[in-house]
Amino acid sequence: MTTQPPPDDLKGRDIALFLDIDGTLLEHRPHPEDVRVDDRLRGLLGSIARSLGGAVAFVTGRNIAMVDRLFAPLHLPTAGLYGLEHRLTPEGPVESAGEPEDLAAVADHLQHRFHTTEGIYFERKGAVLAIHTRAAPAALPEVKAAAEEALARLPEGYRIVAGHAGLEFMPLEALKSAAIERFMEASPFAGRLPVFLGDDVSDEAGFEYVNALNGVSIRVRPQGGTEAGFALPDVASVHRWLAGFEANVDAAR
């Protein structure tokens, strides 16, 4: 497990900044729609985006519509649903993915099975199904067992990713590494040094990809092994690091 803080000497570098949201920029809440974005964070991200010529993107498990509601009026390039949705420019079109019938059937089955368990929240995000147990931690083992049973009934091409407080069904092609790679092939990200901040198992593929490009990978609140080269202890430290990063980049302009 890495405990090394991220470098503070990135000023003057051509950086492409990629940001997970929940657990990284925002504290987790029992319900995903309970989170709020304050004006200070919104302004900081907008300032960094301007300083980097627009090379800042969200890479998140949320869908893009929800990201836009959270951060409005700020719009950034965004990969939603782990890259199953993309918007390559702030005001560009959204490439989206609907809910397949087989995944919808699994969601219906599991929602019925756990409908009397208080604190479990099902988030149906098109091609991704999230089951949140942050408000019902004792139910997580049973939810995992039921999810594994349901996965066996799905056609090939799906996997389950377990996180801090729940799990998600997603297609195999839903990878943050692929999402970041797509941005890195397009302006204004192409040719820059990638920096990626994330906090969960689903971010590990992104860390591996960024490491392969000799970029900077930062895991927030790491628990156990991680591919990230650097660590920050909590969301508040992410905000402080971003503020210092913005000041350094602005000073180098």
Residue 185 shares a structural domain with residue 247? yes
Residue 87 shares a structural domain with residue 191? yes
Q: Please confirm whether the linkage preceding 194 is cis (ω < 30° from 0).
A: no
Residue 80 shares a structural domain with residue 189? yes
Residue 122 shares a structural domain with residue 91? no
pLDDT for res 10: 79
Q: Does residue 66 sit within a domain?
A: yes
Residue 195 shares a structural domain with residue 131? no
Q: What percent of the chain has pLDDT over 70?
A: 96
Residue 30 shares a structural domain with residue 87? yes
For the cut 70, the answer to whether the pLDDT of residue 78 exceeds it is yes
Give the predicted TM-score (pTM) of the model: 0.85
The total of structural domains in the chain comes to 2
Closest C-alpha among 167, 126, 141, 135 to residue 31: 135
For the cut 60, the answer to whether the pLDDT of residue 4 exceeds it is yes
Residue 85 shares a structural domain with residue 105? no
Residues with catalytic roles: 20
Residue 196 shares a structural domain with residue 90? yes
Q: Which among 142, 171, 200 is the end of a domain?
A: 171
Q: Which among 121, 156, 171 is the end of a domain?
A: 171
Average the pLDDT over each of 2-16, 195-209, 237-251 and give the range with the smallest value: 2-16
Closest C-alpha among 188, 182, 142 to residue 49: 188
Q: Does residue 234 sit within a domain?
A: yes
CA 163, 167, 172, 174 dihedral sign is negative
Closest C-alpha among 77, 20, 15 to residue 250: 15
Average pLDDT of 237-241? 95
Q: Does residue 71 sit within a domain?
A: yes
Query: Do 140 and 133 touch, CB atoms closer than 8 A?
Result: yes
CATH number at residue 114: 3.30.70
Residue 162: pLDDT band with limits 50, 70, 90: confident
For the cut 90, the answer to whether the pLDDT of residue 13 exceeds it is no
Q: Does residue 26 sit within a domain?
A: yes
Note the maximum CA span of the chain.
57
Q: Which among 122, 151, 171 is the end of a domain?
A: 171
Residue 188 shares a structural domain with residue 92? yes
Compute φ and ψ for 30, nearest 5 degrees: -55, -35
Residue 134 shares a structural domain with residue 162? yes
Q: Does residue 3 sit within a domain?
A: no
pLDDT digits (tens, 9 = 90+) for 100-158: 899 999 999 999 999 999 999 999 988 899 999 988 999 999 999 999 999 998 988 99
CB-hemisphere CA count at 13 Å for 243?
10
Query: Do 242 and 232 touch, CB atoms closer than 8 A?
Result: no
Q: Does residue 28 sit within a domain?
A: yes
Domain span at 150: 101-171
Q: Does residue 47 sit within a domain?
A: yes
Q: Does residue 6 sit within a domain?
A: no
